[in-house]
Amino acid sequence: MPQKNCRPEPDTLAHKFFFAFLAAAFASFAVKRFNAEELFTAKDAKGDAKFAKNPMKTFSCEAILFDLDGVLVDSTGSVTRQWRRWAEEQNLDPDKLVETAHGVRTIEIVRRLAPHLDAEAETLRLEKREADDHEGVSVMSGAAELLKSIPGGRWCVVTSGTRYLATSRLKLANLPTPKVLVSADDVSKGKPDPQPYLMGAKLLGMEAAECLVIEDAPAGIRAAHAGDMKAIGITSTYPEAELQEADAVVRKLTQIRVSVDGGSRLRIRVE
């Protein structure tokens, strides 16, 4: 009789073990890849730091309120130089002053640290110096594009600087001056008090809780939260560790995407 072609039966147990090994290896690779995508290393404003990337976050609101210096305009160098200069003139510690000066009204700092001076006259002198100091002052990456993506009348600027300084900065950065601009001249209490942001929301005709704030300073983030608003922090002036109170933190404005949903609300995606 002719011989039948016979093939050995596969080792069923060995095959099961082999496929189980492949499945475990693939799962391990996927987890490592996911973790790698969720973490990144970056240099923050004060040195090297490793920090966790924001998981994708989305906010829904009616309007966006922007701080100016350190958010739309990169002026941190100018602000720091002029405050250091003033501190030395007043025999104050420049380092300690600069730590608390960002995001706070000039007149309040002068009143607190140099009560013997004419606060209003000193504020005018300081902010004139800042407005004239153009070295290193430029538009923040992504600022112009971000503003263009927001419908008219749905954003404003709320700054701790005077109107003179704010309009000078916007002009230098070639950014539009919004219809609503709340400056230090318009309020009796500055950040971290919520008054500036509450005024911005009111002038836009929006409920405070329907507004989102973009800030670079802890004082501004606290002001937003005190006014019942969400806040996105940007690490242009302070490191992420000092912006932990924010609802999300970005390194650049290019990580923020704005679109309009079907009901005309703004949808803000943080990448």
The predicted-structure confidence for 81-134, as pLDDT tens digits, reads as follows: 999 999 999 999 999 898 878 788 999 999 999 999 999 999 999 989 999 999
Asked whether residue 216 is assigned to any structural domain, the reply reads yes
Is 239 found in the same domain as 116?
no
Q: Is the pLDDT of residue 141 over 90?
A: yes
Q: Is 69 annotated in the active site?
A: yes
Q: Is the pLDDT of residue 215 over 90?
A: yes
Q: What pLDDT digit, counting tens, does each position of 25-35 carry?
A: 544 444 333 33
> Within 10 A of 204 (CB to CB), how many other CB atoms are there?
22
> CA-to-CA distance for 90 and 92, rounded, in angstroms?
5
pLDDT in tens, 217-264: 999 999 999 999 999 999 999 999 999 999 999 999 999 999 998 878
Is residue 145 within 8 A of residue 53, CB to CB? The reply is no
Q: Answer whether 0.85 is exceeded by the pTM.
A: no
Which one of 107, 132, 157 terminates a domain? 132
Nearest 5°: the CA angle 193, 196, 200 is: 145
In a shared domain, residues 223 and 155 = yes
Q: Does residue 119 lie within any of the structural domains?
A: yes
- In sequence order, which ranges of the chain are alpha helices (DSSP H)? 12-38, 76-89, 94-101, 106-113, 119-132, 143-148, 163-172, 195-204, 218-226
Cβ(241)–Cβ(230) below 8 Å: no
Question: What is the count of structural domains for the chain?
Answer: 2
Distance, in Å, from the CA atom of 58 to the CA atom of 195, rounded to the nearest integer, reads 26
Q: What is the pLDDT of residue 264?
A: 87
* 11, 44, 48, 67: the active-site residue: 67
For residue 263, the model assigns a pLDDT of 79
Among 11, 44, 48, 69, the one annotated catalytic: 69
* Overall size of the chain counted in residues: 271
Range of the domain at 94: 76-132
The verdict on whether 67 is a catalytic residue reads yes
- What integer pLDDT is reported at residue 217 of this predicted model? 94
Percent over 90 (pLDDT), the chain: 72
Three-point CA angle 210, 245, 161, nearest 5°: 70
113 and 70 within one domain: no
